Amino acid sequence: MPARYYRDLILRLWRPVILCAILIGAGACVGSIVIFPVYQASSLLQVTTLVPQGSNYVTLAADRLMHTEAELATSDSVLTQVATSFPQVSESKLKSEVSATVIPNTLALQITVQDTNAAQAASIANAIANTLTSRQAAARLQTNAAMEQPIRDEIAATEQQITQVKQQLTALGTPPSDPNKANILQTQLESLQSTLTQDQETLSNIRVTEITESFVLQVAQRAQPASLPKTSRIVEGTLAGLASGLLLGFLLILGLDQLNWQVRSADEVASLLGVTVLGEIHHTAGEGSDSSTTEKMYAGLSDTCRSLVRSLNFLSLDQPIRTLAIISPERTNASNMLASSLALYLAASGRRTLLIDGHLVEGRQSRQFGIPSSPGLSNAVLDMRNNRTVESAPLRYARQPANIHAPLLLVLPAGTPPPNPDGVLASHTMERVLASLIQSEADTIILDTPPLLGRMGRSTSAGALLKHIDGILLVVDLSCTRKEHLLRAQQLLADMNAKVLGCVVSGSADTQATTPISPSPNGIATSGGPAQDATQPASMPLRADALHRQAHQPPALPRASGAAEKQGQNMWRDGNAGQ
């Protein structure tokens, strides 16, 4: 469906969409505040060192340390250790609640915990901070110990050697029994003591370096329980609820629209098709029928025909519309009635009018005007195929109405029903027949075309008749036309590059009542009582039996003036050859 259809659908049913958005958004907001509150607590860690910060090495090392600690704050080892202090919180839940962020341009690390319990969120944040500081301190001590261990071992060895030399000197006695040996041992003792002193100084220097150049991670600010839930989560939840409500509301009206397949108004027809509604007619069920389909009486045809002719005159300012096809998406009596009424109106207004019944299987124009249904259009096709001479002109199969005096109107009935109506309509011979009829002396040719769609919405061959037509009137019956079929018909006409002039909408019965055709002083059939304008054209050409039921006698329209009748007979002499 086109985007315009969804736009008009939203504009028409926006209230349920807004209602769904408000209800679900309000529910999400209440749920975020009351049912599922989220509290946030943050602890702040900082790195301290005695080394001046101007050194690039120190800055880079501190930055690496902060990012390392941020990764460790959400690592499995740290969270597993913290989870042991909170039995009600699992490690997987901690992963979803904890986040660590290095504050830009600082040596600070923020640990944030979000939990449904404010006190527990603060406790978890502080526990993670303590774990990180203790681990960093332990790692620092381990590193320092590894750096001091070699010199410590050397000092221990030197002290042991000094002890051995002193024992040897004591054993020589005082004065020493061996002065030479005592001198040697004394020199060795002095050397060892000098080495010990140097090692001790080295160890002191290492410790000073460890103190001054090491980075210490410590808690700068402990987390405190929050008094109110996290506002951003409330806003996020509300916005998510509103978005979900809008989507659900749109899906709801889309589902309702799909379930409600019927087109309800002329405005909706115009919106779906993107064409102008040129007129509306109304129908009521008749009292009887001779088929399974209920006969329909139509009101408003007189005004519709007058409006259509006026609109067609405006539409044909630059390019006259001589051939006009009246077609409907689905099978409906409205298109047949409109075609016959418009043809009668044009003939009564002084135009030589030819009405062609394209319904080869169930032609109805012959019943409307009381003429034989055969021979007709299908017979003209056979005649055109078998005989290509001028004498085979299909206009000779046309007849004047028998139950209404209209000398300027000729009706070409459907003819003998063929076994393959779609094949006949789509044949090249049919195109030649239509071309021959178009070359006749008719001022206006109206083609009553079969519906574009057949059963199950499948396209028919009716479009083959529209190739040589100047304009198309689409008749939409609100009682039977489906939205999907209306859009399908629009697509078929667009694919054929057909010139759709507008549409006529047939609605359900309203306060208007169908009245019998009554004669007017100027020989034009009218509908209505004495108060109706006597100059308006026929409201509708009804079947002879329907007229008899309504007026209790066959309609007898006054004949036109002798000049008008003679002019009509002269103009259509060739067309009446078949009568």
Q: Residue ranges of the domains in the chain? A: 39-228, 263-282+297-571
pTM above 0.75, yes or no: no
Across 62-93, b (16+ Cβ under 10 Å) vs e yields: beebbeebbebbeeeebbebbbeeeeebeeee
Residue 436 · residue 393 · CB < 8 Å: yes
- pLDDT above 80 for 49: no
Q: How far apart are CA 237 and CA 243, in angstroms?
A: 10
Nearest-angstrom CA–CA distance, 196 and 397: 136
**Angle (nearest 5°) at CA 239 between 237 and 243:** 115
Residues 6+ positions from 333 with CB-CB distance below 8 Å: 283, 293, 295, 296, 298, 364
Q: How far, in Å, CA of 353 to CA of 344, rounded?
A: 8
- At residue 317 the predicted structure's pLDDT band, cuts being 50, 70 and 90, is low
If one counts every other C-beta atom within 10 angstroms of the C-beta of residue 139, the result is 11
Average pLDDT for the chain: 76
DSSP 396: G
Q: What mean pLDDT do residues 555-569 have?
A: 41
Give CA 155 to chain center in angstroms. 83
Quote the tokens at residue 163.
């002890």
Cα(408)–Cα(354) distance, integer angstroms: 9
pLDDT tens profile 328-378: 888 888 888 888 888 888 888 888 888 988 888 877 888 888 888 888 888
What is the average pLDDT across 369-395?
76
The residue-averaged pLDDT of 72-94 equals: 88
Per-position DSSP letters for 246-303, written without gaps between them: HHHHHHHHHHHHHH--B---HHHHHHHH-S-EEEEEEEEE-S--SSSSPPEEEESHHH
More confident position, 578 or 118: 118
CA distance 299 to 332: 15
For residues 444-472, give the mean pLDDT.
73
574 or 252, which is more confident? 252
**277-286 pLDDT tens trace:** 888 877 654 4
**DSSP states of 458-482:** -B-GGGGGGTT-SEEEEEEETTT-B
CA 372 to mean position of chain CA atoms? 52
Evaluate whether 339 touches 308 at the Cβ level (below 8 Å): no
Q: Quickly state the pLDDT bin for 87 (edges 50, 70, 90).
A: confident
Amino acid at 315: L
10 Å CB burial of residue 193 (0-12, 13-18, 19+) is middle
d(CA 429, CA 526) in angstroms, rounded, equals 39
Question: By mean pLDDT, which of 153-162, 215-224, 287-296 is the weakest?
Answer: 287-296
Alpha-carbon gap, residue 125 to 79, rounded angstroms: 11
Superfamily per CATH, domain 263-282+297-571: P-loop containing nucleotide triphosphate hydrolases (3.40.50.300)
CA 70 from centre of chain: 44
Which residue is it, tokens 């389909």? Answer: 293
Q: Is 489 helix (H, G, I), strand (E, B) or coil?
A: helix
pLDDT tens for 399-437 read 888 877 888 888 888 888 888 888 888 888 888 888 888
Cα Rg of the chain (Å, integer): 51
In this prediction, residue 489 has a pLDDT band, given cuts at 50, 70 and 90, of: confident
Say yes or no to pLDDT of 570 above 60: no
**Confidence bin at 240 (pLDDT 50/70/90):** confident
Give me the pLDDT at residue 64, please: 86
Q: What is the 3-state secondary structure (H, E, C) of 305-353?
A: HHHHHHHHHHHCCCCCCCEEEEECCCCCHHHHHHHHHHHHHHHHCCCCE
The SS3 assignment for 215 reads coil
Residue 80 in this model has a pLDDT that exceeds 80: yes
What pLDDT shows up at residue 483? 75
CB neighbourhood size of 171 (10 A): 10
CATH 1.20.120 fits 39-228, yes or no: no
Longest dimension (CA), the chain: 177
Q: What is the mean pLDDT of residues 454-462?
A: 56
How many CB atoms lie under 10 A from the CB of residue 452? 27
Tell me the sheet residues that pair with 409.
353
Cβ atoms of residues 105 and 120 within 8 Å: no
Most confident of 124-138, 211-225, 423-437: 124-138
Which residues, 6 or more positions from 365, have their beta carbon under 8 angstroms from its beta carbon?
336, 339, 340, 355, 357, 411, 413, 414, 448
Contact residues for 291 (Cβ-Cβ < 8 A; gap 6+): none
How far apart are alpha carbons 128 and 223 in whole angstroms?
11
Nearest 5°: CA angle at 19, between 15 and 25?
145
Beta carbons within 8 Å of 95's beta carbon, 6+ residues apart? 74, 79
The β-bridge relationship of strands 353-357 and 444-448 is parallel
